């Protein structure tokens, strides 16, 4: 619950021909993480599955492309039985999938070309619409002439009059034939030899030349008839190819489902990769299994194997701790919080798993910073209402919303109204200093707990010196506790005596001595570095503690935003008042809710995880038996 499951290193020795079956059994168990067996590299130098993996990857890629481009097969269901897939069977399947993909790709390429043709013809028809009013051969209009200079294009409608006058001075006439979207489509014609003079006139008027595509070089009515015939042919061809694709789907659906099942049974052996080694007729599969699942795996192997096998298991060696994958089992209640923890990193093997602590502290801090009965109920209701879309994160929304509801009762706040219910504990604005004091106490407890977990993790790793004497170890905890005790005594009893001085000085001296011992440099540099690092320790504890004041600050900010909303609402009449209240609450829910969640996550990551959680562990990735459909 609070740390990864105990793991054991296993070595499964089987005959070479039994290795695919062994991989299937391990995959069906779903608890075996393959691992490179370096210890057997010299004794077992062969990699028997290389050709198998190559063919599997080819077949897998072809099936994925077929499913993506030519439609999905029928429901393949779970893999059928534990019959291993031979290399010959896999090669035949790969060849067949290659033939099917060739058929599918030809059909898809034909569909693509026909679709391009259809879009091209439709674009030509739209272009032709602009020339409908010109009942002449468009090819002759666009052709270069010996004595006549012709231009076709558009000009802003407001500039037509000025262009007509200016063109006339250059010996040209303008003939508009279409007005659309504020633009006038026109033909400008005149004698050759004055093109340069006309060019300046056209540019000044905002003229844009229009090119006539070669396909339109004929009379518009004839071109339209030909284009419609082309479009009809493209649509008929498209329908024929769609029918061909549907025919391929019907023809191959059942066999594609079988292919998916076959590849799902071939996948475990192919995915063993370097975890499978061999010599002669003997193969060895190495990896990690949770200790509690080892007995079930042995029983599964006994049921499936008719020939002898050897399974050995041992606990991880101290030198292997960094290689052991971390397997965590979380209930559905904390799964969304586990995802957020995983975003920071995976715990090392044996390291404290902070998921439950993270879930509890996150919910509590969110509730304290966003305490409101109504708004919390909306968040919880949203989590329930959209649970299908949110998936496991629906629990996250419900938990955060309920925490806000609880603190809303403690604060006496319902949608920002503080007069509807009496606060069970305190209205934040009634005593801000008390809220700050509670937040400070929470931060102190949080930091002490995080430092304690740092000590635990270092002891687990065998780093006794760091665990006892480092600034984030026992000495650091005692120093921090001593400072808190001294401050408390100074503020409540008005004294700072020898006991307080000793409580601070002794652990701080231990921290400095530890740093002095472990830093090798000339004396002057050594003194400077030790003092700077000691000061950094003091500053870090001080800054981390102050960071938790934001817990109270946001609870006060939440009330202040509500006051601002009601101040604006009171300036409105009845309808405007309620619209402002509703929109204001929506604004607080969305914007401040997101900000509070981010701030809580920041406190968890930077004031908590950064102290005790390495997050550089290896994730447990078991071999599994499943049907992959893309």
pLDDT higher at 251 or 377: 377
> At residue 75, does pLDDT exceed 60?
no
> At residue 80, does pLDDT exceed 70?
no
pLDDT, residue 412, reads: 92
1 burial level (CB within 10 Å; 0-12, 13-18, 19+): exposed
276-279 and 208-209 strand pairing: unpaired
Measured distance CA(129)–CA(227) in Å, rounded: 12
Measured distance CA(482)–CA(264) in Å, rounded: 61
Question: What band does 273 get if pLDDT is binned at 50, 70 and 90?
Answer: confident
pLDDT, residue 628, reads: 47
Measured distance CA(35)–CA(327) in Å, rounded: 14
Beta bridge partners of 252: none
pLDDT, residue 629, reads: 44
Measured distance CA(138)–CA(127) in Å, rounded: 12
Q: For the sheet with 148-156, list strands across it.
A: 173-180, 183-191, 148-156, 208-209
pLDDT, residue 626, reads: 67
Question: What band does 601 get if pLDDT is binned at 50, 70 and 90?
Answer: very high
Tell me the mean pLDDT in the region 293-316: 90
Q: Are 69 and 103 a contacting pair, CB within 8 Å?
A: no
Q: CA dist 529 to 73, 519, 532, 538, Å?
A: 67, 8, 5, 14
> At residue 308, does pLDDT exceed 60?
yes
Tell me the mean pLDDT in the region 607-622: 86
Measured distance CA(274)–CA(276) in Å, rounded: 5
Structure token pair of residue 626: 């499943």
> At residue 522, does pLDDT exceed 50?
yes
Question: What band does 457 get if pLDDT is binned at 50, 70 and 90?
Answer: confident
208-209 and 148-156 strand pairing: antiparallel
pLDDT, residue 72, reads: 52
HEC string of 230-280 equals HHHHHHHHHHHHHHHHHHHHHHHHHHHHHHHHHHHHHHHHHHCHHHEEEEC
**φ/ψ of residue 414, rounded to 5:** -130, 110
For the chain, give every domain's residue range.
Answer: 7-102+244-326, 132-211, 352-613
> At residue 406, does pLDDT exceed 90?
yes
pLDDT tens, 383-393?
A: 999 988 988 89
pLDDT, residue 380, reads: 95
pLDDT, residue 81, reads: 64
Tell me the mean pLDDT in the region 275-295: 90
> At residue 357, does pLDDT exceed 80?
yes
pLDDT, residue 630, reads: 40
> At residue 372, does pLDDT exceed 90?
yes
pLDDT, residue 152, reads: 84
Share of the chain above pLDDT 70, in %: 95
Tell me the mean pLDDT in the region 463-478: 88
Please identify which residue in the block is written with the tokens 């008027």: 205
Question: What band does 41 get if pLDDT is binned at 50, 70 and 90?
Answer: low
pLDDT, residue 37, reads: 65
Q: CA dist 391 to 330, 332, 339, 386, Å?
A: 15, 10, 12, 8
Tell me the mean pLDDT in the region 225-240: 85
Whole-number average pLDDT of the chain:
86
112 burial level (CB within 10 Å; 0-12, 13-18, 19+): exposed
> At residue 76, does pLDDT exceed 70?
no
33-34 and 7-15 strand pairing: unpaired
Q: Hey, is 110 helix, strand or coil?
A: helix
Q: CA dist 572 to 561, 566, 576, Å?
A: 17, 10, 5
138-152, 350-364, 471-485, range with the lowest pLDDT:
138-152
Name 198's Cβ contacts closer than 8 Å, sequence gap at least 6: 149, 151, 167, 170, 172, 188, 190
Beta bridge partners of 311: 12
pLDDT higher at 163 or 249: 163
pLDDT higher at 212 or 21: 21
Neighbours of 221 (CB within 10 A): 11
Measured distance CA(183)–CA(174) in Å, rounded: 14
CATH numeric code, 132-211: 3.30.70.2750
Measured distance CA(179)–CA(173) in Å, rounded: 17
Tell me the mean pLDDT in the region 416-424: 88
pLDDT higher at 85 or 611: 85
pLDDT, residue 238, reads: 81
**φ/ψ of residue 601, rounded to 5:** -60, -40
Q: Hey, is 155 helix, strand or coil?
A: strand
Q: Are 361 and 447 a contacting pair, CB within 8 Å?
A: no
pTM of structure = 0.73
Half-sphere exposure of 487 (CA within 13 A, CB side): 10
Measured distance CA(577)–CA(250) in Å, rounded: 63
pLDDT, residue 71, reads: 62
> At residue 350, does pLDDT exceed 80?
yes
């Amino acid at each position: 619950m609070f740390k990864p499951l105990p793991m054991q290193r296993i070595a499964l020795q089987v005959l070479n021909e039994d290795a695919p079956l062994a991989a299937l059994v391990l995959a069906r168990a779903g608890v075996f993480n393959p691992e490179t067996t370096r210890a057997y590299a010299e004794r077992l130098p062969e990699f028997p599955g290389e050709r198998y993996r190559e063919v599997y990857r080819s077949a897998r890629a072809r099936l994925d492309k077929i499913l993506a481009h030519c439609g999905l097969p029928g429901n393949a269901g779970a893999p059928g039985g534990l019959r291993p897939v031979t290399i010959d069977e896999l090669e035949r399947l790969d060849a067949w999938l290659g033939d099917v993909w060739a058929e599918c790709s030809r059909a898809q390429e034909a569909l693509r070309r026909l679709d391009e043709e259809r879009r091209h013809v439709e674009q030509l028809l739209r272009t032709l619409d602009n020339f409908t009013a010109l009942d002449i051969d468009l090819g002759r209009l666009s052709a270069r002439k010996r004595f006549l200079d012709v231009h076709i294009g558009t000009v802003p409608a407001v500039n037509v009059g000025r262009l007509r006058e200016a063109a006339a001075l250059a010996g040209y006439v303008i003939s508009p034939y279409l007005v659309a979207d504020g633009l006038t489509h026109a033909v400008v014609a005149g004698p050759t030899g004055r093109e340069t003079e006309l060019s300046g006139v056209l540019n000044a008027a905002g003229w844009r030349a229009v090119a006539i595509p070669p396909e339109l070089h004929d009379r518009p009515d004839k071109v339209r008839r030909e284009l419609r015939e082309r479009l009809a042919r493209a649509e008929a061809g498209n329908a024929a190819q769609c029918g061909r694709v549907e025919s391929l789907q019907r023809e191959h659906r059942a066999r594609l489902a079988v292919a998916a099942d076959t590849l799902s049974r071939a996948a475990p052996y192919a995915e063993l990769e370097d975890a499978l080694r061999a010599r002669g007729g003997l193969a060895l599969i190495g990896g990690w299994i949770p200790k509690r699942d080892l007995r079930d795996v042995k029983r599964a192997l006994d049921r499936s194997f008719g020939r002898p096998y050897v399974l050995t298991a041992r606990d991880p060696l101290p030198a292997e701790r960094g290689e052991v994958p971390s397997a965590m089992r979380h209930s559905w209640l904390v799964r969304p919080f586990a995802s957020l923890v995983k975003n920071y990193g995976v715990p090392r093997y044996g390291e404290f798993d902070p998921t439950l602590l993270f879930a509890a502290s996150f919910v509590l801090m969110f509730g304290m910073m966003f305490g409101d009965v109504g708004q919390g109920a909306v968040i919880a209701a949203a989590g329930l209402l959209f649970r299908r879309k949110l998936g496991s994160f629906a629990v996250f929304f419900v938990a955060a919303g309920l925490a806000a509801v609880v603190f809303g009762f403690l604060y006496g706040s319902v949608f920002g109204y503080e007069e509807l219910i009496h606060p069970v504990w305190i209205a934040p604005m009634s005593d801000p200093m008390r809220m700050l004091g509670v937040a400070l106490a929470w931060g102190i407890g949080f930091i002490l707990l995080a430092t304690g977990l740092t000590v635990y993790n270092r002891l687990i790793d065998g780093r006794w010196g760091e665990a006892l004497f480092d600034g984030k170890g026992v000495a650091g905890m005692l120093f921090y506790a001593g400072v808190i005790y001294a401050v408390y005594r100074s503020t409540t009893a008005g004294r700072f005596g020898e006991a307080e001085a000793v409580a601070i000085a002794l652990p701080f001296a231990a921290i400095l001595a530890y740093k002095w011992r472990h830093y090798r440099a000339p004396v002057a540099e050594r003194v400077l570095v030790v003092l700077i690092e000691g000061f950094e320790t003091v500053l870090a504890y001080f800054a981390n503690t102050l960071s938790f004041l934001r817990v109270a600050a946001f609870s006060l900010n939440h009330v202040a935003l509500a006051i601002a909303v009601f101040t604006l609402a009171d300036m409105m009449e009845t309808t405007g008042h309620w619209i402002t209240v509703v929109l204001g609450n929506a604004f607080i829910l969305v914007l401040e809710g997101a900000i509070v969640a981010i701030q809580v996550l920041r406190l968890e990551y930077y004031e908590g995880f950064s102290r005790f959680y390495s997050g550089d562990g290896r994730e447990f990735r078991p071999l599994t038996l499943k049907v992959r459909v893309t």
